[in-house]
Amino acid sequence: MDYCIYKLHFSTPVHFGKKALSDSEYSLCSDTVFSALCSEAINGGIDVLNDLVMKAQSGCIVLSDALPYIEDDYLLPKPYIYVDHKDDIDSSVVRKAYKNLKYVSIHDYDDYLMGRFDIANAPSINELGVESLKVSASIRNDDNETRPYEIGTYAFNANCGLYIILGFERGADELIDSLMQHLSLSGIGGKRSSGYGRFTFEKISPDKILVDKLTGDGTVSVLINTALPKEEELEESLQGAQYSMIKRSGFVSSVNYADSWQRKKDQIMFKSGSCFAKVFTGDVYDVSAGAGRHPVYRYGKPMFLRIRK
């Protein structure tokens, strides 16, 4: 399998919410990225959507979460694994810094695992951008009153943004190239009709250190996206695993699906950073709820880094 990186440069703020409209996240789970690609695919016809889903189900394409980069530092999720830190862990400041740490630079990853991580000089997520609240107003049809509401937004700093790792076989990246081009124009995330989430992107080759971890044979597999084993894989995948879970839900974004907003089926999935002794293949799940005009898919295939502990 070959790998490439889509490096996203945002020209407008983004709205990546969790539950409330006032939320403002700065990263995206891989199932959200895949859903956005599916929305662009269905605009090209059901055959394009089927081609995308088939390539994902067969493993011809594999997607990471949309992860942060700061300048030339590509950040990876901190693994849910015990590390014997060699620095002054008795310091309350250091303990708090490790507790709040969410991402580790690919260049610091081995040092982190070996307990030699210099957390004082690590890239700070505060350098990534700025979150804010925008107050807007809506008019309710029933009483014709203007009512204010808040939208959580995140604006990336210059030379900062998100990147997506794509694993692909047999030229399958050409389909993703085309869909990413359309997606960059329509935007990613919420409130796209208000202009949020627009970006340009460059397609680059990943560093050797990242490729080696994606293709290596380590004893521990670190998840770098949001994934879910098939039912028959779940019990074995939990053996020796250290993990965290996340609820994935939301509404169908495709305007072609139904005449009104429809919710997807909820699923509980493994978060990026979860560590496994037994790998799994996962699946692309149909999460349609109700009668729609086309299937709705949630991406649950894993992308692993292989490490030795």
Q: What is the pLDDT of residues 11-54, one digit of tens each?
A: 999 988 776 776 778 899 999 999 999 989 988 888 999 999 99
What's residue 76's pLDDT? Answer: 96
Number of domains in the chain: 1
Residues in the chain: 309
What's residue 133's pLDDT? Answer: 80
DSSP calls for 143-203: T--EEEEEEEEEEEPTTEEEEEEEEESTTTHHHHHHHHHHHHHH-SSS-GGGTTT-EEEEE
Mean pLDDT of 278-298: 85
Task: Answer whether residue 249 shows pLDDT above 70.
Answer: yes
Pair of tokens at residue 303: 């992308």
CA dihedral for 82, 80, 10, 21, sign (positive or negative): negative
What's residue 17's pLDDT? Answer: 76
Mean pLDDT of 72-91: 82
Task: Answer whether residue 151 shows pLDDT above 90.
Answer: no
Q: What is the residue range of 144's domain? A: 2-307
Pair of tokens at residue 219: 């004893």
Would you say 166 and 138 are in contact if contact means Cβ atoms under 8 Å apart?
no
What's the pLDDT tens digit per position in 50-78?
Answer: 999 999 999 999 999 999 999 989 999 99
Lowest mean pLDDT, pick from 201-205, 245-249, 298-302: 245-249
In this predicted model, which residue has the larger pLDDT, 98 or 113?
A: 113
Q: How many CB atoms within 10 Å of residue 243?
A: 14
In this predicted model, which residue has the larger pLDDT, 52 or 253?
A: 52
Task: Answer whether residue 161 shows pLDDT above 90.
Answer: yes
Rg (CA), the chain: 20
What's residue 308's pLDDT? Answer: 80
Split at pLDDT 50, 70, 90, the class of 132 is: confident
Task: Please choose, from the candidates 184, 188, 214, 190, the residue with its C-alpha nearest in 3D space to the C-alpha of residue 202.
Answer: 184
The rounded distance, in Å, linking the Cα atoms of 9 and 207 is: 19
Q: Is 146 buried (19+), middle (13-18) or exposed (0-12) by CB count in 10 A?
A: exposed
Range with the largest mean pLDDT of 152-161, 191-200, 293-302: 152-161
Split at pLDDT 50, 70, 90, the class of 251 is: confident
Task: Answer whether residue 138 shows pLDDT above 80.
Answer: no
Would you say 227 and 34 are in contact if contact means Cβ atoms under 8 Å apart?
no
Mean pLDDT of 121-126: 85
Would you say 87 and 119 are in contact if contact means Cβ atoms under 8 Å apart?
yes
Average pLDDT, the chain: 88
Would you say 216 and 291 are in contact if contact means Cβ atoms under 8 Å apart?
no
What's residue 136's pLDDT? Answer: 67
What's residue 187's pLDDT? Answer: 94
Cα–Cα separations (whole angstroms), residue 43 to 8, 94, 197, 289:
22, 50, 19, 20
Cα–Cα separations (whole angstroms), residue 225 to 43, 65, 158, 252, 280:
26, 5, 25, 21, 13
Task: Answer whether residue 211 shows pLDDT above 80.
Answer: yes
Task: Answer whether residue 147 shows pLDDT above 80.
Answer: no
